[in-house]
A = this chain, B = another copy of it.
Amino acid sequence: MWRRPTLKQVAEKAGVSLGMAGRVLGNYGYYSKSTKKKVLDASKAINYTPNVIARSLRTRLTRTIGVLISDITTFFWTTLVRGIQDKAGKAGFSVILCNSDEESENERLYLSTLFERNVDGLIVSPTLHNHSYLKKLARGMVPIVLVDRRVKGLRVPTIKTDNQAGAYEAVNHLIALGHDRIAIITGIAGVETSDERFAGYRKALEEKGIPFRKTLIKEGNFQKDQALAATKELLRMKRTPSAIFVCNEPMVSGCILALKESGLRIPEDIAVIGFDDPVWASYTNPPLTTVSQPSYTIGILAFDYVLAQISNIKKDRKYLEDVILKPTLVIRESCGIRLKDHEVHPAQKNP
């Protein structure tokens, strides 16, 4: 099998020492114009490319970061990862991508292989359980930035959106349109993202004095199928909800599917509001009203923040703090037409 040319071969070809060749190719130290030319020519002649592995062993730097998220397949993560990659590419970093599928086992596994591969930094969206290994890594073993969710007891910069605010706004929108039986399909309970969105839901209801009914709360797992099942359960109730707040993109898919199957019209028979704003949100019938997160930006920032840690720019305290981005409500048609202010639901008590 073919073997790549080495610095040594360049040096021989150029008739200089190995160290000399290294200096001009690495562009450091002193060297004369003439040797520079000799080395460069030799390098080109034999098609030399540096061996990054050897360099890494020496410098202890790989210019690689590991990214561990739940599932590249969902819109939120795809765009977030694209953000990371774009920024990383420009900075000369490669990114190794892993999907945990929300399984702590996978998280643990990937985290350790990533660490063994000497990545310079890690961008992680932690699963629900067993963060012991993550915490261990965070104790100075490798720079880490969290995205989307924090972990209790882990002091690591986190880039995320204000989920509670997003959910609050969504549910308020529903209330303003006259809804008072608002169901919610949450994500996995315990995951910060879910809990915050649920909190926003609850806060909105409480503020307007709308009764909070346990039967209207369904726990999903962030995935389509379970949301579909949950929606069906909701529809089997004696008094069905007048609106459903679905806490992420794959789950809205499931919900809409269930609604379609049951022949219900949106929003006439039941309103739907989602979280995450994928391209297809404008194409549904009717177009989906939803909370939009700046996922691409989160990716960009996440990379900036690991890079800051890697480069040790800790002087800038900014890079040690969390950043919490504001989501925005994108109003389309799946909740019906917005009523005038004076037409808000009578149940509203706090002005």
Contact = CB atoms under 8 A, between A and B. Distances in A.
Interface of A: 1-2, 4, 49-54, 56-57, 62, 64, 71-73, 78-79, 81-82, 85-86, 89, 92, 94-99, 110, 112-118, 140-141, 224, 250, 253, 256-257, 278-280, 282-286
A72 B62 contact: no
A283 B57 CA distance: 51
24 contacts: A1-B140, A49-B115, A51-B118, A52-B116, A53-B57, A53-B117, A64-B117, A71-B82, A72-B72, A72-B81, A73-B78, A73-B79, A78-B78, A82-B99, A85-B99, A86-B99, A94-B117, A95-B96, A95-B97, A256-B283, A279-B280, A280-B280, A280-B284, A283-B285
A30 B232 CA distance: 62
Given A51-B118, A54-B57, A253-B279, 16 more contacts: A2-B140, A4-B141, A50-B116, A53-B56, A53-B117, A57-B57, A72-B78, A85-B98, A92-B113, A94-B98, A94-B117, A97-B97, A250-B279, A257-B282, A280-B283, A284-B285
A45 B256 CA distance: 54
Nearest to A110: B89
Contacts of A1: 140
A75 B200 CA distance: 31
B96 A253 contact: no
Contacts of A85: 72, 97-99
A338 to B, nearest CB: 21
Given A51-B116, A280-B278, A82 B89 contact: no
Most buried by B among A85, A110, A118: A118
> For the complex formed by this chain, how many copies does it contain in all?
2
Contact of A62 (B4, B53, B82, B285): B53
Contacts of A141: 2, 4
Given A94-B113, A116-B49, A283 B284 contact: yes
Contacts of A278: 280
A139 to B, nearest CB: 8
Contacts of A98: 85, 89, 94
A85 B112 CA distance: 17
A36 to B, nearest CB: 21
Contacts of A64: 96, 117
A341 to B, nearest CB: 30
Nearest to A141: B2
Most buried by B among A71, A92, A285: A285
A268 to B, nearest CB: 14
A283 B97 CA distance: 30
Contacts of A54: 57
